[in-house]
C-alpha cells in the first residue's frame, strides 16, 4: 500500500491518466430527451448492450441512469446518476441530472463536479425555462458547453431560427458543427461540418451505427444521388450562409466558454449521437483546476484532494447503502489509504470505494482527477465536505438553498416510528430537503425547494424504509438560520420568539418566518441577531 503522504508523481502515466478523463453533465428542460441521450452515449460507448425505454410501459426495461423505482414509474429523473465507460482511449464520466425544476438543487451541485456540459434542446419546443437557468449557472462558472438539438425526426423550428433563439435566450455564441437536411418526415440526415461527411438517417431503423458517406466538397454530384436535387441545393445554400454568419470552430474559444458547438440528431433513433460523442472526446476538456478558499488546486498536484457533491441514501434498498459521491480533484485516490476528513478533523480509510454504471457498482483500487468515486458512508459526510492527503482545504462554490415549500410531517403508522425517523434522517442528509423540529411542540417540518420533492420523499419512505407519512400544510414564507455574538440578546430573542423557532437536523437555530413582512419586522426589532438564508454560514 502506498502512503498517502508520499508524493504520487512517480506513478507511471499519472498525467496521461488525467488527460484521458472527460467528466461532463447532461442538462436540459424535462422531456427534451436528456436521459435518452445518456442511454445512447452509453450504448455507443459499449457500456450497455440494449438501451432502456424511458417511458414505454410495454417494455419492462428502463433507462440505465433512472435507477430509482419512482423514476422508473414516473419516467422522469429525480436524482443525478453517475456512469463511466471507456471510449476511443478516453475514460468518459457522465453525470445525468434531473431536468425538473423541483430537483434543480441536485443539478446545481452536480455542475460543480463536471468539467463541461452538453445541453439538450427539443427542436419543437426550443429553449425552455429550466434550460435558461442551468445554462446561466454554467456560464457563471465558464463551463464549456456543447448544444445537442434533439428530435430532428419530428417537425420543429427552423434550424437558423433555433440558433438565433439559443444565442438570444441563452447568451451563447454558437458554432454549428453539423447541419440538418430537412426535418420531421423530410429529415434525411445531417452533414458533419467538422469531419466533412454526410450522415444519412434511416427512419425507424433504430440504427446502432450511422451510415457515413465522405463528401469533402459539397459540389460533389454524389450529394444529389444521396439526398435528391432540391435538398442538395438547400444544403449547399445553407452551409454557405453558415460560413458567413457563424465563427469557425476554435477549440481554445470553446474551452474558455466563448463559443458553443451545435449538433443535430435524434437520440431515440440513435442518430447523430456517435458523431456528437466522437467530437466530444476529441475537444472536451480534461479535468480542470478547482478553487478552494486556500488556493487553486490543479489536477496534476501530487497530493490527493476531492469534495463530496452528492449523498444518496439507499442506493441499493436491499443493503441500505448510503453513498457519498466524491469528485477527485488532484492526486491519486487509493483504496485502503487513510485520508483526512477536513470538517471532522480525523483520518478515514475506505475498503470498498466504488465506480458506477448507474446502480451497478464495482470496487476500484485507484482513481484519478476527474473520476467520481462512491464512498460507503455511515453518516460521516455532508455535502461540500473535503477529503485530502492531509492539507487543510475547503472547496468553494457548492451551493446550499433555503427551502421555499414547507409541510408538517406526521407518522401515519405508529408501529413504524423508528423506520420513519431513520428514513427522514437519511433522506435529509442527501441535501434535497431540510428537517426542522419546532421548539415549542417538537413537531417536525420538512422544507424543500420544489413541491414534487414531498411526493418523492413520501414514496421513498414507503418503499425503501417501510414507513408511512402524511403531510399537513403549514403557512411559512422562509427559513432563516440565526446566530448572535451577544448571548443575552440571543436569549431574549429565543424567549420572545419561541413559537417561530426550530432546530435543524444539526441542532442549529432556525427562525421560521410566516411572511416577508413578519421577517422584516423581526429583523428590524432584533438588529443584533444575524439572519442567514442558508445553513452554510
d(CA 152, CA 267): 9
The answer to whether 14-79+115-283 and 290-388 have equal CATH topology is yes
- Reported as a pLDDT band with limits 50, 70 and 90, residue 316 is low
Tell me the pLDDT tens digit for each residue of 12-41. Answer: 589 999 999 999 998 887 788 878 888 888
Residues 362-405: pLDDT tens digits? 888 999 999 999 898 877 888 889 999 999 999 887 766 677 78
Ordered by start, the domain boundaries in the chain are 14-79+115-283, 290-388, 405-532
pLDDT tens digit sequence for 109-127 = 788 899 999 999 999 999 9
Could you tell me the three cell numbers for 522? 423581526
Q: What is the mean predicted confidence (pLDDT) over 213-220? A: 72
Q: How confident is the model at residue 455 (pLDDT cuts 50, 70, 90)?
A: confident
Tell me the per-residue pLDDT of 485-525, one tens digit each, with 9 for 90 and over.
Answer: 889 999 999 988 999 999 988 888 999 999 999 999 999 99
DSSP classification of residue 13? T
pLDDT at 71: 44
Determine contact, residues 368/326, Cβ cutoff 8 Å.
Answer: no
Superfamily of domain 405-532: Peptide chain release factor 3, domain III (3.30.70.3280)
Place of cell 417501510: 466
Q: Looking at the predicted structure, is the pLDDT value of residue 64 above 50?
A: no
The pLDDT of residue 135 is above 50: yes
Distances 152 to 84, 138, 157 between C-alpha atoms, Å: 27, 25, 10
> How much is the pLDDT for 320?
58
User: Under CATH, which number does the domain 14-79+115-283 receive?
Assistant: 3.40.50.300
Phi, psi angle pair for 117, to nearest 5°? -135, 155
Report yes or no: 201 and 170 within 8 Å, Cβ to Cβ.
Answer: no
Integer angstrom CA distances of residue 72 from 54, 227, 257: 7, 39, 35
- Share in percent of the chain as helix, strand, coil (round to 5): 30, 30, 40
Q: Residue 384's closest CA among 323, 309, 324, 327?
A: 309
Q: What are 200's strand-pairing partners?
A: 189, 211
Band (pLDDT 50/70/90 cuts) for residue 199 is confident
Q: How confident is the model at residue 99 (pLDDT cuts 50, 70, 90)?
A: very low
Instruction: Check pLDDT > 60 for residue 234.
Output: yes
Indicate the fold that domain 290-388 takes in CATH.
Answer: Rossmann fold (3.40.50)
**CA neighbor of 501 nearest in space, from 488, 485, 517, 490:** 490
Record the cell numbers describing residue 290, joined without a space.
Answer: 478547482
User: Per DSSP, which regions of 13-140 are E strands?
Assistant: 21-27, 81-87, 90-96, 116-122
C-beta separation of 408 from 474 below 8 A: yes
Give dist(CA 481, CA 382) in Å, integer: 18
Residue 300: pLDDT band with limits 50, 70, 90? very high
Hey, which residues does 205 pair with through a beta bridge?
A: none
Mean pLDDT, the chain, rounded, equals 82
Ranked by mean pLDDT, the top range of 312-316, 443-447, 463-467 is: 443-447
The residues near 98 (Cβ < 8 Å, ≥ 6 apart) are 76, 77, 78, 79, 80, 104, 106, 107
3-state secondary structure of 254: helix
* pLDDT of 189 higher than 60: yes
Amino acid at each position: 500500500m502506498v502512503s498517502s503522504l508520499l508524493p504520487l508523481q512517480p506513478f507511471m502515466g499519472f498525467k496521461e491518466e488525467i488527460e484521458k478523463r472527460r467528466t461532463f453533465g447532461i442538462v436540459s428542460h424535462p422531456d427534451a430527451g436528456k436521459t435518452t441521450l445518456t442511454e445512447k452515449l452509453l450504448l455507443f460507448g459499449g457500456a450497455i448492450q440494449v438501451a432502456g425505454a424511458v417511458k414505454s410501459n410495454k417494455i419492462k426495461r428502463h433507462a440505465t441512469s433512472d435507477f430509482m423505482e419512482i423514476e422508473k414509474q414516473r419516467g422522469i429523473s429525480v436524482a443525478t446518476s453517475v456512469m463511466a465507460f471507456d471510449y476511443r482511449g478516453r475514460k468518459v464520466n457522465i453525470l445525468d441530472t434531473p431536468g425538473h425544476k423541483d430537483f434543480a438543487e441536485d443539478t446545481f451541485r452536480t455542475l460543480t463536479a463536471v468539467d463541461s456540459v452538453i445541453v439538450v434542446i427539443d427542436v419543437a419546443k426550443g429553449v425552455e425555462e429550466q434550460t435558461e437557468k442551468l445554462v446561466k449557472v454554467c456560464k457563471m462558472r465558464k463551463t464549456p458547453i456543447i448544444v445537442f438539438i434533439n428530435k430532428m425526426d419530428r417537425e420543429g423550428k427552423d434550424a437558423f431560427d433555433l440558433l438565433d433563439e439559443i444565442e438570444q435566450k441563452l447568451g451563447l455564441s454558437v458554432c454549428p458543427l453539423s447541419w440538418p437536411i430537412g426535418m420531421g418526415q423530410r429529415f434525411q440526415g445531417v452533414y458533419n461540418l467538422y469531419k466533412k461527411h454526410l450522415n444519412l438517417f434511416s427512419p425507424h431503423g433504430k440504427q446502432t451505427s450511422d451510415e457515413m458517406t465522405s463528401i469533402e466538397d459539397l459540389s460533389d454530384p454524389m450529394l444529389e444521388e444521396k439526398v435528391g436535387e432540391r435538398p442538395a441545393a438547400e444544403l449547399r445554400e445553407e452551409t454557405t450562409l453558415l460560413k458567413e454568419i457563424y465563427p469557425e470552430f476554435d477549440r481554445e474559444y470553446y474551452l474558455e466558454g466563448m463559443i458553443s458547438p451545435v449538433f443535430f440528431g435524434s437520440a431515440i433513433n440513435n442518430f447523430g449521437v456517435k458523431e456528437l460523442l466522437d467530437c466530444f472526446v476529441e475537444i472536451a476538456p480534461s479535468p480542470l483546476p478547482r478553487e478552494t478558499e486556500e488556493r487553486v488546486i490543479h489536477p496534476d498536484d501530487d497530493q490527493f484532494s476531492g469534495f463530496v457533491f452528492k449523498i444518496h441514501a439507499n442506493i441499493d434498498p436491499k443493503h441500505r447503502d448510503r453513498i457519498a459521491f466524491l469528485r477527485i480533484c488532484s492526486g491519486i485516490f487509493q483504496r485502503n489509504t487513510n485520508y483526512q476528513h477536513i470538517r471532522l478533523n480525523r483520518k478515514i480509510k475506505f475498503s470498498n470505494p466504488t465506480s458506477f454504471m448507474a446502480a451497478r457498482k464495482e470496487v476500484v483500487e485507484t482513481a484519478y482527477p476527474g473520476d467520481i468515486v462512491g464512498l460507503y458512508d455511515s453518516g460521516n459526510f455532508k455535502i461540500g465536505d473535503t477529503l485530502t492527503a492531509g492539507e487543510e482545504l475547503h472547496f468553494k462554490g457548492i451551493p446550499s438553498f433555503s427551502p421555499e415549500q414547507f409541510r408538517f410531517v406526521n407518522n401515519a403508522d405508529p408501529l413504524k416510528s423508528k423506520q420513519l425517523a431513520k428514513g427522514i434522517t437519511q433522506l435529509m442528509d442527501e441535501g434535497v430537503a431540510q428537517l426542522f423540529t419546532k421548539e415549542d411542540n417538537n413537531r417536525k417540518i420538512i422544507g424543500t425547494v420544489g413541491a414534487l420533492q414531498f411526493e418523492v420523499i413520501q414514496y421513498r419512505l414507503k418503499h425503501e424504509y417501510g414507513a408511512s407519512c402524511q403531510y399537513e400544510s403549514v403557512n411559512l414564507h422562509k427559513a432563516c438560520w440565526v446566530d448572535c455574538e451577544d448571548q443575552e440578546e440571543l436569549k431574549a430573542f429565543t424567549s420572545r420568539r419561541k413559537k417561530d423557532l426550530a432546530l435543524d437536523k444539526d441542532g442549529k437555530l432556525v427562525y421560521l418566518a410566516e411572511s416577508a413582512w413578519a421577517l422584516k419586522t423581526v429583523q428590524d426589532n432584533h438588529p443584533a441577531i444575524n439572519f442567514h438564508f442558508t445553513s452554510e454560514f
